[in-house]
Amino acid sequence: METFTSHTGKPVAIDRANIDTDQIIPKQFLKRIERSGYGEFLFYDWRINSNGTPVPDFSLNDPKYRSASILIAGANFGCGSSREHAPWSLYDYGFRSVIAPSFADIFYNNSLKNGLLPVALIDSQVAELIERSKDDDYRLTVDLQNQTVKDNDGFSASFEIDSFRKDCLINGLDDIGLTLKHAEKIAEYEKRHGIAA
């Protein structure tokens, strides 16, 4: 998993509450066994018309947000089914962080395990960021080390995160990485018990 300490990037807003995982990555695209290749289908039903053309007024289709790497959204982001493909698709699209007033628990935990940082800020702070993100040259910094979200125009907010999950992100440790930290002890155990490597 890629490490995350601090990220500065262009934010883009989808100003809706209760964005569920079936909108983030619709079910018809859940056929891959890898974690990659989902980005092109992110918010597919909102981004693409039935005739295959882009929906012109959807924010991710606006050229000024092409390089966006921070998503700002409404409350209860990631609700619905528990599909891990939702953070995979956001990450594969290019997002490193999602900022919202609240997140569905399973989505929140799946994100942290896959290198995507979910940041919960209060409603008024999220509303302010949504407004500021409309500026063409706006940039935002999500600093995990200091647990802050800042810009160069006076906005500053702090956020909470579990210390274990923070450490995992900073060190790029997913569940496999955490297990491999104990590779020597696992090998000793297998040797002692005659388990083939």
pLDDT of residue 192: 76
- Distance, CA of 133 to CA of 126 (rounded, Å): 10
Q: Write the pLDDT tens digit of every residue in 168-194.
A: 999 998 766 666 565 676 667 777 777
Whether residue 158 lies inside any domain: the answer is: yes
Q: How many CB atoms lie within 10 A of CB 9?
A: 17
pLDDT of residue 182: 58
Whether residue 162 lies inside any domain: the answer is: yes
Total domains, the chain: 1
Helix (H) or strand (E) holding 190: helix 183-192
For the chain, the average pLDDT equals 92
DSSP 3-state assignment of 156? strand
Cβ-contact 22, 81 below 8 angstroms:
yes
Whether residue 180 lies inside any domain: the answer is: no
Whether residue 183 lies inside any domain: the answer is: no
Whether residue 49 lies inside any domain: the answer is: yes
Q: What is the CATH number of the domain that holds 61?
A: 3.20.19.10
Q: Do the bridges between strand 156-158 and strand 148-150 make them parallel or antiparallel, or are there none, so unpaired? A: antiparallel
Whether residue 54 lies inside any domain: the answer is: yes
Containing structural domain, residue 34: 6-172
Q: What is the pTM of this model?
A: 0.90
Whether residue 192 lies inside any domain: the answer is: no
